[in-house]
Homo-oligomer: A and B are copies of this chain.
Amino acid sequence: MRAMPFRDGCTIESPVRDLRRVPIHPDHWYPLAWSRELKPGKTLGAHFAGEPIVLARTASGSVFALEDRCAHRQVPLHAGVVDGESIRCGYHGWTYDCSGQCVDVPYLGRERLPNGVRAYPCREAHGMIFVFPGDATLAGERPLPQLASVTDKAYKTRRFGREVSCHYSFMHENLMDMNHQFLHRRQMGQMRARSLGRRRGENFIEVDYTFVRMAGKQPAGEALVFGASKNRSEQSGQSVMTVRTEYPYQTLRIRSNDDALVMDLWIVYVPLDARQRTNRTFGLLSVRRPSVPFLLDAAWPLLVWFTERIFKEDRAIVELEQAAHDRQGADWNHEVFPVINELRELLRNCGDRTVIPIREASDLA
């Protein structure tokens, strides 16, 4: 039988940490829900990397985030009720305000109130509820992501996303490596990406691409998202796609030959479970409205269909990558594209210093 590599071989033979075991760094703002998911007077249970967090919207519309557990018997507060500007646990009625302080135990005097639970910095922007799961003293100095196209009326924005069962790093690599057009051959025909150059800094890396069609004609969905190409040779000179990871977020922008931003995607992959093997993707895709009014609105269903198909193929393949990593117990990847090797180094350097424990391979077999 084939000799299997020693499970922790990677760690012992080299100081390089297995990227799939690097936790995302908590000292950033992460969306945990869409604004529309949290109704006034309701709670919503969410997770960040295995930490249960309850989001609450009071009757006045303000939002706050606490540890999703009652300090008493540890049942999740999201199973409780919003009462004025606080949350009341559904079991014995212990009550917490937006700072996590316990402000009422129905059967105890106010002078004997126990300690409360942790509160998280929480802000609402661009239709998302952001939480800062790390060191709260840093929350003020770390800016929320700026999404200029989302607030610019020259663009129409689609919000999309769902759970994907893989480590967030697979998502970054998938979007940045445009050599995977073969995966989308049914949607895009035979395209070939050409890397024009790349730039990097301490917390970002970005790469520019142009595309050449090898065969077939441009599908309508693609024309809508990436811009129509008048003819094949012209296309290669026209648009430039830039994919950028600015930790922990990612953007994909397409500029036409006159340097106009025609498409602007912002996306983030929020780990849900403690092992960070599942993430919830929050994506905002902004497309510049053409000069003909309502043309984009009319074509919107086609854009939705096209992006859903692409996203579905990407999701399937990254989940297969994660399954392979789980089975192999280490990172066997053999990368040949320099941009991706640099991206991995960035994700390792910007990640948390701890290591995600993994299951024994035998437990998964």
How many residues of A are counted as interface, with CB atoms below 8 angstroms from the partner's CB atoms?
64
Instruction: Tell whether, in the assembled complex, residue B324 and residue A106 are in contact, meaning their CB atoms are under 8 Å apart.
Output: no
CA distance A156 to B72 in the complex (A): 37
Chain B residue nearest in CB terms to A328? B74
Instruction: Tell whether, in the assembled complex, residue B69 and residue A324 are in contact, meaning their CB atoms are under 8 Å apart.
Output: yes
Contact of A106 among B118, B179, B325, B335 (CB under 8 A): B179
Which residues 88-119 of A have a CB within 8 angstroms of B?
A: 88-93, 105-108, 112, 114-115, 118
Which residues 35-94 of A have a CB within 8 angstroms of B?
A: 49-52, 67, 69, 71-76, 79, 88-93
Main secondary structure of the interface of A (DSSP, over half): loop
The interface bits of chain A over 346-358 (1 if a CB of B lies within 8 angstroms of the residue's CB, else 0) are 0000001000011
CA distance A71 to B193 in the complex (A): 21
Q: With a CB–CB cut-off of 8 A, which chain B residues contact A79?
A: 317, 320
Contact of A114 among B69, B321, B336 (CB under 8 A): B336
Instruction: Tell whether, in the assembled complex, residue B182 and residue A333 are in contact, meaning their CB atoms are under 8 Å apart.
Output: no
Q: With a CB–CB cut-off of 8 A, which chain B residues contact A325?
A: 74
Q: Give the number of times this chain occurs in the complex, counting copies.
A: 3
Contact of A177 among B75, B92, B118, B192 (CB under 8 A): B92
Report A's interface with B, CB cutoff 8 A.
1-2, 26, 49-52, 67, 69, 71-76, 79, 88-93, 105-108, 112, 114-115, 118, 133-134, 177, 179-180, 182-183, 192-193, 273-275, 317, 320-321, 324-325, 327-328, 332-337, 352, 357-363, 365
Known: A72-B334, A106-B192, A357-B360. 20 other contacts (CB 8 A): A1-B134, A1-B352, A2-B67, A2-B118, A50-B365, A71-B334, A73-B321, A74-B321, A74-B332, A75-B324, A88-B182, A90-B182, A91-B180, A91-B182, A106-B182, A107-B179, A107-B192, A114-B334, A274-B362, A363-B363
